[in-house]
Amino acid sequence: MEKMNQALEKMKMLVGMDVEDEEVAPQQESSFAFMDDLNRNCTLSTKQRLYGFAICLTTGIACTLLSMMVFFNPIKFGITFSFGNLLALGSTAFLIGPKRQVTMMLDPVRIYATAIYIASIIIALFCALYVRNKLLTLLLIILEFGALIWYSLSYIPFARSMVSKVMMACFDTEF
C-alpha cells in the first residue's frame, strides 16, 4: 500500500498537483513567494492542464513549422520561429506547473543550457526586430535551434554525454 501511495504522489508531482510535503524552510519559502502565489491562483484540473499543454504545444509547433514558409525573410522567420519555441517551452508549464518549470530550468544540470537557449531567443528577436540584419538573424536562429536541442537533451538522462561522445568520434581527425 505504501508503494502505491508513493507512486500516486509521484504521478501528482508529474502533472503539477500539490503533494503533502514536509514543512518548507522559511528562507526558501520567501524566495519562491511569487511562484507559490501563481501556482495557488492557477489551479487547473488534470483535463484542463492536458488541454492547455496540447493547445500550447500544437500552436508552438505550428508556428515553428509555419516559419519555414517565410524562411527567405529572416526577420519574419526569426520572429515566428522564436515565438513558436517560446510557446512550446511554455507548454510544459501546464503539465508540471510554472514553479516547477522554473525550478527545473534553473537546476544546476541544465542552467547553462537554459541560459544559452533563453539568451539566443532574446538576441534573435532583438536582431530580427531592431537590428534587421538578415545574416545575423539567420545565424542566431541556427544558434537558437542548436540551443533548443541541447536544452531538450538535458532532460534525457545521459543524452548530452552520449551526443558529445558521438560528435567527438565523428569529428576526430586522428587516425
Quote the domain boundaries for residue 72.
Answer: 42-170
Backbone phi, then psi, for 113, in 5-degree steps?
A: -65, -40
Per the document, the length of the chain is 175
Look at residue 48 in the predicted model and tell me its pLDDT.
87
In a domain, 175, yes or no: no
**How many domains in the chain?**
1
In a domain, 28, yes or no: no
Look at residue 59 in the predicted model and tell me its pLDDT.
94
Look at residue 21 in the predicted model and tell me its pLDDT.
47
Backbone phi, then psi, for 17, in 5-degree steps?
A: -80, 155
- Confirm if 35 and 102 have CB atoms less than 8 A apart: yes
- Confirm if 137 and 81 have CB atoms less than 8 A apart: no
Look at residue 41 in the predicted model and tell me its pLDDT.
65
Look at residue 63 in the predicted model and tell me its pLDDT.
92
In a domain, 25, yes or no: no
C-alpha cell at 168: 567527438
In a domain, 118, yes or no: yes
Look at residue 37 in the predicted model and tell me its pLDDT.
66
**Residue 122: count of CB within 10 angstroms of its CB:** 13
Look at residue 58 in the predicted model and tell me its pLDDT.
92
In a domain, 32, yes or no: no
Look at residue 43 in the predicted model and tell me its pLDDT.
74
Each of the 175 residues of the chain gets a pLDDT tens digit; together they read 677 677 667 666 665 555 554 444 444 455 556 656 665 666 778 888 889 889 998 999 999 889 888 878 878 888 898 899 889 888 888 888 888 888 888 999 889 988 998 998 899 888 888 888 888 888 888 888 888 888 888 877 888 888 888 888 888 777 6
> Model pTM greater than 0.75?
no
Residue with cell 493547445: 55
In a domain, 35, yes or no: no
In a domain, 11, yes or no: no
- Confirm if 123 and 140 have CB atoms less than 8 A apart: yes
In a domain, 18, yes or no: no
